[in-house]
């Protein structure tokens, strides 16, 4: 892969990120309501007082002026200030993003590994009981709403069996550090991680099975068998490697969107991640936080697509980018 291609894709990525932020800016500002109405609309505040607050926050300026000011600040690294949370947007996102990544990265990777293993097992024995069982489980997994499964997990494993905590990221009042802190956070992670891994694994399982079955019909695998290679090497060394392009595509999409978090799962488990932050910001019409969130997620998705293209060239040496 040439550096010229990567540089060109990076320039395209910057343009796309600008379009994402611009579109989000327009949609958010033309929607009814604003943060002033959210904070003071239900109180005994005069119209003049509301107008003064909007003027102080710059919400009474023309939309084009607000857009120009925001984009200029963004290019300087200033994502704005949340008048509702009384914090810079960068601080809000910087506090919630690590929590989301701590939950999402293990969930996606665990789902990918489990899905690849189950998909390969089903593909090696098509039409058998194991194939039908794995297919049925993956369909049920994909059709199960994560928020519903979250409630079931809380009822069964937290409320009835008392194996895990119901909500939060750490035990209230816990002051320990080091390994005790790691163990406490891991204990709180088990249920939400299990919910997300269960849901994500379905797509990896189905895609791996379909891709490997498609590869198994090709002549190069017949040649490999004629050379005396074992079925294990034929499937895992040759078929799986060529089938990984589809899996890598889905993995890249999941890793790109994981910055958004799993909104409903984070809300049910009271996990302090970006999912809860953006949900609350939308309800509060907290424009700077919503725009900062779109910027981060848009950049993550676009860069993940670039990473997938690079991975294609690594997995399949036949792929070349000019």
- Give residue limits of the domains in the chain: 89-315
**Angle between the 89-124 and 287-315 helix axes, to the nearest 10 degrees?**
40
Query: Which residues pair with residue 87 across a beta bridge?
Result: 82
The C-alpha atoms of residue 291 and residue 90 are separated, in whole angstroms, by 11
Query: Which residues pair with residue 91 across a beta bridge?
Result: none
Half-sphere exposure of 82 (CA within 13 A, CB side): 23
Neighbours of 200 (CB within 10 A): 27
- Give the pLDDT of residue 74: 83
**Contact between 184 and 170 (Cβ < 8 Å):** yes
- Give the pLDDT of residue 291: 84
**Contact between 299 and 17 (Cβ < 8 Å):** yes
The C-alpha atoms of residue 40 and residue 50 are separated, in whole angstroms, by 8
The C-alpha atoms of residue 210 and residue 244 are separated, in whole angstroms, by 11
- Give the pLDDT of residue 147: 83
Buried b (16+ CB within 10 A) or exposed e, 83-105: bbbebbbeebbeebbebbbbbbe
Domain 89-315, CATH class in plain words:
mainly alpha
**Contact between 44 and 7 (Cβ < 8 Å):** no
Task: Give the pLDDT confidence of 74-118 residue by residue, as tens digits.
Answer: 888 888 888 777 888 888 888 888 888 888 888 888 888 888 888
Structure tokens at 92: 């809000």
Expressed in percent and rounded to 5, the helix, strand and coil fractions of the chain are 75, 0, 20
Query: Which residues pair with residue 286 across a beta bridge?
Result: none
**Contact between 308 and 249 (Cβ < 8 Å):** yes
Q: What is the DSSP string of 222-252?
A: HHHHHTT--HHHIIIIIIHHHHHHHHHHHHH
Residues in CB range of 74: below 8 A, 6 or more apart:
21, 295
- Give the pLDDT of residue 208: 83
- Give the pLDDT of residue 318: 60
Question: Which of 269, 294, 264 is closest to 279 using CA atoms?
Answer: 264
- Give the pLDDT of residue 159: 86
Task: Give the pLDDT confidence of 294-312 residue by residue, as tens digits.
Answer: 888 878 777 777 777 777 6
The C-alpha atoms of residue 164 and residue 190 are separated, in whole angstroms, by 8
Question: Which of 134, 110, 122, 84 is closest to 189 using CA atoms?
Answer: 110
- Give the pLDDT of residue 1: 53
- What is the three-class DSSP state of 297? helix
User: What averages of pLDDT result for each successive group of 10 residues across the chain (322 residues)?
Assistant: 70 82 81 70 68 77 83 82 82 86 86 86 81 87 85 88 81 70 84 88 84 74 70 70 74 69 79 82 82 82 76 63 54
């Amino acid at each position: 892969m040439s550096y010229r291609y990567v540089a060109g894709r990076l320039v395209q990525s910057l343009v796309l990120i600008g379009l994402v932020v611009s579109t989000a800016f327009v949609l958010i500002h033309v929607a009814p309501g604003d943060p002033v109405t959210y904070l003071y609309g239900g109180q005994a505040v005069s119209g003049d007082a509301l107008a003064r607050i909007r003027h102080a926050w710059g919400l009474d300026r023309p939309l084009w002026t607000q857009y120009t000011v925001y984009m200029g600040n963004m290019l300087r690294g200033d994502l704005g200030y949340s008048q509702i949370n009384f914090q810079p947007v960068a601080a809000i996102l910087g506090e919630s993003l690590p929590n989301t990544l701590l939950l999402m990265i293990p969930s996606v990777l665990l789902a990918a590994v489990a899905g690849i293993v189950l998909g390969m097992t089903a593909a090696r024995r098509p039409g058998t009981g194991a194939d039908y069982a794995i297919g049925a489980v993956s369909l049920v997994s994909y059709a199960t709403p994560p928020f519903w499964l979250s409630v079931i997990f809380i009822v069964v494993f937290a409320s009835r069996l008392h194996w895990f905590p119901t909500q939060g990221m750490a035990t209230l009042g816990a002051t320990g550090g080091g390994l005790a802190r790691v163990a406490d956070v891991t204990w709180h992670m088990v249920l939400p991680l299990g919910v997300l891994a269960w849901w994500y694994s379905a797509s990896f399982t189905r895609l791996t099975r379909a891709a490997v079955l498609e590869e198994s019909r090709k002549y190069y695998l017949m040649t490999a068998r004629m050379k005396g290679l074992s079925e294990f090497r034929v499937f895992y060394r040759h078929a799986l490697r060529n089938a990984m392009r589809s899996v890598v595509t889905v993995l890249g999409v999941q890793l790109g969107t994981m910055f958004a978090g799993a909104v409903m799962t984070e809300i049910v488990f009271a996990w302090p991640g970006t999912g809860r932050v953006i949900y609350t910001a939308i309800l509060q019409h907290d424009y700077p936080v919503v725009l900062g969130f779109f910027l981060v997620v848009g950049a993550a998705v676009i860069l993940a697509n670039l990473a997938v293209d690079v991975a294609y060239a690594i997995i399949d040496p036949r792929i070349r980018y000019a």
